[in-house]
């Protein structure tokens, strides 16, 4: 069982996340992923940090409530979720999306956490 990467995700009002993205891109000079999407207004941004890690930010909207989530990228999300359940954690999932298997839980501090791995075919 190996942790491969960390992703930080924030969802907030469009203007706020646009300012945050501008700070990362223009202030710090971080390279932003170009998804080649044409959207009205600012939808979001992703800043890669190695193969399995990145910073992402999205405009809140239907199905995307405001908040902060820590994504932990692992080699086997099923194994980590099983271990966490054995230790008493309240784990939701799995959900398969975007080629990943994802489990969710809420930390004692209230932080939303997702543990995920690539789905093997």
53-86 confidence digits (pLDDT tens) = 999 999 998 878 899 999 999 999 999 999 999 9
Query: How many domains would you assign to the chain?
Result: 1
Sheet bearing 92-97, strands edge to edge: 44-48, 54-59, 3-12, 67-74, 112-118, 100-106, 92-97
Looking at the domain assignment, is residue 12 inside a domain? yes
CA distance 68 to 65: 10
The answer to whether residue 121 scores a pLDDT higher than 80 is no
Range of the domain at 15: 3-27+54-115
Q: Which whole number is the average pLDDT over 12-27?
A: 94
Q: What is the model's pLDDT at position 39? A: 67
Q: What percent of the chain has pLDDT over 90?
A: 79
Q: Using pLDDT thresholds of 50, 70 and 90, give the confidence band for residue 37.
A: low
First vs last C-alpha separation in the chain:
19
User: Do 59 and 14 contact (CB within 8 A), yes or no?
Assistant: yes
- H or E segment to which residue 72 belongs: strand 67-74
Looking at the domain assignment, is residue 9 inside a domain? yes
Q: Indicate which CATH number applies to the domain containing 98.
A: 3.10.180.10
Looking at the domain assignment, is residue 39 inside a domain? no
């Amino acid at each position: 069982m190996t942790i491969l990467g960390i992703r930080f995700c924030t969802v907030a009002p469009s203007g706020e996340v646009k300012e945050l993205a501008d700070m990362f891109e223009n202030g710090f000079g971080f390279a932003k992923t170009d998804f080649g999407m044409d959207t009205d207004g600012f939808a979001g941004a992703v800043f890669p940090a190695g193969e399995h890690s990145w910073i992402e930010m999205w405009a809140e909207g239907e199905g995307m409530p405001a908040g902060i989530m820590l994504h932990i990228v692992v080699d086997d999300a099923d194994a980590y979720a099983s271990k966490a359940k054995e230790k008493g954690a309240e784990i939701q999932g799995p959900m398969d999306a975007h080629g990943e298997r994802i489990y969710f839980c809420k930390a004692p501090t209230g932080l939303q956490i997702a543990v995920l791995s690539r789905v093997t075919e």
